[in-house]
Every structure is written in structure tokens, then in C-alpha cells.
Amino acid sequence: HATELIEMLVTNCIVVPDLPAHLVYEKVWYPHVYKLLNPDEYEVPPIASVDASYKTPMEVVYRLAGVDGEASEARVETLQDDDDLLKDPEKKYALARAFSHQFDNKSGLSILMSDFSKIDSVKRDGYLLSKILSVLTLALKLRDNVREIVRVNGTDVLVDKLFIFLSEDANEDQQLLIDQVIASLETIVIEGSQLAIDDMDIGIDKPAQSSNSVKNVTTVLDKVVNACEQMVDACKSVHSTPSQIVAISRILPFLAGDREAEAKAAELFAPNARELA
């Protein structure tokens, strides 16, 4: 092919012709220009953060391959698109995969959930809870970590603690932590449901088994009912349902451990559902 007879050079590097031009500019040409203008700088800032003086036209040299013998310049054959990296959580949060790795038959997530299980009050242990939830939120970006959370029965821990936290008279900051617990459960249920289809044995679709399932579901739904009543009083439509209620509605099938609990849920929801409709 004719293209194999031509070499393309940018900043004295041989660049593979099929690389996207915008990546060659951002990853090869722009860093070269920046370092020429700032020889003492070690880090090259993102191209979006610099002014137009650094965004000069890219100089490309074409030459016949092999005319002067074998090429000695460095070759650029692959370039990572940062936009693709940001769009794909499996790449963006790749380091978080370490949370599910096994060390002495324990994963980082199993240890994390063990620490979570020791928290008995959002009011007393709010600081520790906030740190654990920060790590958990990051870990749940990856499906392997969701799978590991389910494997170590982390969902049961989250559900049990959610019931305890909801029974407390939490202030605004503590309520935000409770919302994070609900959001984490929502992520596990949504992602775990797809994993259940993929794996067929993950068990995320099994309801949480608890001897206090009626009491637990009632505790959760009391919060929902109160929020619904406030919506009715404020003449808000169901389309403006708070995100917390939406999240709870998604995890309710998991929270309900038996038919009696489900019946209680229907009993609590029915009057408000009619008013909101």
C-alpha cells in the first residue's frame, strides 16, 4: 500500500497514520509546545486550561520510509482518549478494583462491611460512617465490586443499618448520610439485578430475610408516607417525587422479607398513592 511507504512525523516522532488527529494534537504536539515555552515546568496542564498561545498549528512532516535506512525515531502507535476514559467507569475507576481483591481470604470490601456492621448510630458514629460511605460509593462504580458486596452479604449489613438509622431523629447532615446508604443500596439492587442475569447465581433478587421484616418495612415506609403527605400538602405532583422516595421504591422488593411485610407496605402506601395520583 502507498501509505506504508510514507512516514508521518510529529515532534520528531513517527506517528501511526490511523491515529485520530485530535489525539495526536493533544497528546503529542501540545505537550511539546508547552514544554518548549515552559522548560522548567514538569507537569503539563490539560489543554483546555491553557490560553491560545499554546494552541499553535501542528507541524507534520511526511517522508518516504526507508530512504535513509531504518528509522531511529520513537514510534507513537496508541493514544488514550481521555473522553473515553471518563465515559467508562471500568476504566476511570480501575484502581477501585483492588477493593474486591482477596488478601488472606478477605477482600477490602469484606473488611469495609465488617467495620460498617459495627456502626449502630448515625448520630454517634456519623464521622466514621461518612468515611466508609465515601469509600463504598467509589467501590460501587465497578460491577466486580458490586458482585463482591453481594458475595460477602454486604446488602444485609446495609439494610440492617438503614433500619436503625431511619429510626433515629437525624439532623440534616445525618440525613444526607442516610440518603447515601439508600443510594448505595439502590446501586447494588440495580447493578446486582443485571449481574444476576449474567451470573444466574448471585442471589441479589432474593428478599432480605429478617424476623422483623414487618417492623423494618414499616419503619422505612413511615418515612416515605410522611414525605408523601408533605407533597400532598404542598400540592406537588408525583413527577416531583424526592429522589429518596424513588430510591426506596426500587429497593422495597429487597427489603420486604415476607407477604405480611408486603401487605403492610400496600396498606401504608395506598391512601397516599391515591392522593398523589
Task: Round the CA-based radius of gyration of the chain to a whole number and report it.
Answer: 27
pLDDT digits (tens, 9 = 90+) for 246-260: 566 656 655 554 455
Query: Is 146 strand, coil or helix?
Result: helix
How far is Cα of residue 34 from the mean position of the Cα atoms in its chain?
Answer: 34
Contacts of 70 (CB under 8 A, 6+ apart): none
State the Cα–Cα distance between residues 232 and 80, nearest whole angstrom. 51
State the Cα–Cα distance between residues 67 and 91, nearest whole angstrom. 41
Q: What is the pLDDT of residue 115?
A: 93
* pTM as predicted: 0.53
Nearest CA to 100 among 147, 165, 62, 59? 147
Instruction: Look up residue 9 and give its DSSP letter.
Output: E
Using CA atoms, how far residue 67 sits from 71, 89, 91, in Å, is: 9, 45, 41
Nearest CA to 148 among 197, 209, 191? 191
End-to-end CA distance of the chain: 68
Q: What is the pLDDT of residue 119?
A: 93
pLDDT digits (tens, 9 = 90+) for 170-203: 888 888 888 888 888 878 877 766 665 555 444 4
Residues of the chain whose pLDDT is less than 70?
Answer: 1-4, 69, 82-87, 192-277
State the Cα–Cα distance between residues 229 and 276, nearest whole angstrom. 9
Using CA atoms, how far residue 202 sits from 101, 185, 273, in Å, is: 18, 15, 33
